[in-house]
Chains A and B, each alone.
Chain A
């Protein structure tokens, strides 16, 4: 496969990716923050059948966990080893890492399902703005272009909006991106038409207004993908509708108002404190309404919040903050700020002995969640106490 890599000085390098390498029996972690380095290492390893571990090397908690626990000797690893080729790590809902094993079938069947949705389009170029350490980046950003065949893959470490617009102007381009860029491009004073370019967005849902603003401005289309690391892709929607259509192969149902999925993309095994077999159907925490073969997302059933696709436990962050000696009590809430590119933020309300430097809080959260960006604002109040039902409330 041919990769066109854009360096930060805007110079371009064409790289013919090597496809074979020697395979080791053990799991191998690709530890790099560079997209270019990652692709050069990942493609030959994956194509040769190497078992690969993936997570953001800046995520200190995951790195510590990985360094302290040899995956190759985990109890029951033999079962997972039978088919698994990739192991994605994420922060679990409790803050403890969760690993999702993926077999080649999990990945390739999902990519074929994505390709099925795109089959009417003559895609010639794929521009990727997302990192590759997460499942969305691997599936849509690397394996999909490989499956599409004769396409040019264009990658840059970080794009600015005008740089991405320039790439998207080429005919028959597919852009693999996130809501941040859809919203940023919509704000540019540009009159360009991107009518032959399709944008795929994932990690967080876009509001209908944001999709409409973008599509009207550029005469282009946005396809959103919905899923998680454990489930893989579940559904997609194109344009400004509210209804999600399951990907070919994924079957959805309703269980106690929650989304239940049966699909060949779901991990057979996950790693929590031990390796567990994952049962199907898999019931997510998403509250949905089902309408024939489609569904509408209504909300989430617990105090887990999702920021840029990452599950964050508000209760856990409260507990983390309450470990800081100056903090008596903390309340963490999700706030939605539509005017910002990163619309999902958390508001931290503290009852504290004195005001803290924001960096202290950032570092404390980073010990548990890595340096993933959790945008937050701080508010101080005189008193936080418990209500009669045990819920924390602010006393003004």
Chain B
């Protein structure tokens, strides 16, 4: 089972968010949009590559990605669901 901090670490490292700590990246914080971390469509592309490289999980369409990428918690949930299939 993948822990949420592991996913957050990969988000921070993979997106080069060196100035954000694990604690600052709250589990339910929105990853996209002005209210949360403020990631954008290029970050979404980068995230799909990170997920596949580090967790072996593939995301092939944007509609699916919108829900999965809503927070670190939803991302972790998706990774674990996929790994348990």
Contacts and interface: CB of A to CB of B under 8 A. Distances in A.
Nearest to B40: A373
Contacts of B40: 373
A8 interface: yes
B63 A377 contact: no
A159 B38 contact: no
Contacts of B58: 162
A184 B62 contact: no
A177 B23 CA distance: 36
Contacts of A17: none
A396 interface: no
B63 A184 contact: no
Nearest to A187: B49
Interface in A160-191: 160-163, 180-181, 184, 187-189
B77 interface: no
B66 to A, nearest CB: 7
A389 interface: no
A163 B62 contact: yes
Interface in A9-24: 9-10
A163 B38 contact: no
A358 B29 CA distance: 14
B60 A184 contact: no
B41 A340 contact: no
B48 A341 contact: no
Contacts of A324: none
Interface string A334-352: 0001001110010000000
A302 interface: no
Interface string A143-168: 00000000000001111111100000
Interface residues of B, number: 25
A161 B63 contact: no
A189 B58 CA distance: 10
Interface in B31-56: 38, 40-42, 44-46, 48-49, 52-53
A59 to B, nearest CB: 14
A134 B34 CA distance: 23
Given A8-B66, A9-B63, A160-B65, A341 B46 contact: yes
A341 B62 contact: no
Given A8-B63, A158-B62, A362 B38 contact: yes
Contact of A377 (B16, B42, B62): B16
B42 A160 contact: no
A182 to B, nearest CB: 12
A134 to B, nearest CB: 15
A160 B20 contact: no
B63 to A, nearest CB: 5
B19 interface: yes
A156 B63 CA distance: 12
B61 interface: yes
A67 interface: no
A158 B39 CA distance: 14
B16 A8 contact: no
Nearest to B35: A359
A378 interface: yes
A161 B45 contact: yes
B44 A158 contact: yes
Interface in A342-396: 342, 345, 358-359, 362, 373, 375, 377-379
Contact of B48 (A161, A358, A359, A373): A161
Contact of B63 (A10, A159, A187, A379): A10
Interface string B1-43: 0000000000000011111100000000000000000101110
Given A160-B61, A345-B16, A180 B45 contact: yes
Contact of B45 (A156, A341, A377, A379): A341
Contacts of B17: 377
14 contacts: A9-B63, A158-B62, A160-B48, A160-B60, A160-B62, A160-B65, A162-B59, A163-B61, A187-B49, A187-B53, A189-B52, A337-B16, A359-B38, A377-B19
Given A162-B59, A184-B45, A341-B49, 18 more contacts: A8-B62, A8-B66, A157-B62, A159-B62, A161-B49, A162-B58, A162-B60, A181-B45, A187-B53, A337-B16, A340-B16, A341-B42, A341-B45, A358-B20, A358-B38, A362-B38, A377-B16, A377-B17
